[in-house]
């Protein structure tokens, strides 16, 4: 395998992993009755529509059929991809949900 093929493979793998991260985020939102588009918009208000998020949202399952994703897992995955702003908003939403559930 030459250098160019290796670079292309690394890029391809990164894109696949990024798609998984987006799906994990979208599913976590659905599982917690949150709109992933609204949460994303809070983190990145100046970005236009995210087609990768739209694609991932179509793949989400209803909460009763999906694996429950711990918020710690989501925050770690977001951190791996440098989505610190989104992780911050997710953490705020999680705190809000926790307070709501304690009432």
Which H/E stretch holds residue 86? helix 84-102
Average pLDDT, rounded, for the chain: 94
Q: How sure is the predictor about 92, in pLDDT bands with cuts at 50, 70 and 90?
A: very high
Task: Say if residues 25 and 79 touch (Cβ distance below 8 Å).
Answer: no
Summarize pLDDT for 16-52 with one digit per residue, the tens: 999 999 999 999 999 999 999 999 999 999 998 899 9
Q: How sure is the predictor about 90, in pLDDT bands with cuts at 50, 70 and 90?
A: very high
State residue 1's pLDDT score: 80
Instruction: Return the axis-axis angle of helices 3-31 and 71-80, rounded to nearest 10°.
Output: 150
Q: Domain limits of the chain?
A: 3-102
Summarize pLDDT for 63-73 with one digit per residue, the tens: 999 999 999 99
């Amino acid at each position: 395998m030459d250098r160019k093929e290796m670079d292309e493979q690394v890029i391809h793998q990164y894109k696949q992993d990024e798609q998984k991260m987006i799906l994990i985020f979208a599913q976590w939102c659905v599982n917690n009755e949150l709109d992933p588009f609204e949460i994303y918009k809070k983190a990145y208000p100046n970005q236009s529509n995210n087609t990768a998020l739209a694609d991932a949202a179509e793949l989400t399952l209803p909460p009763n059929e999906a694996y429950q994703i711990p918020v710690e897992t989501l925050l770690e995955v977001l951190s791996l991809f440098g989505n610190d702003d989104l992780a911050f908003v997710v953490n705020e939403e999680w705190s809000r949900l926790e307070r709501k559930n304690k009432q």
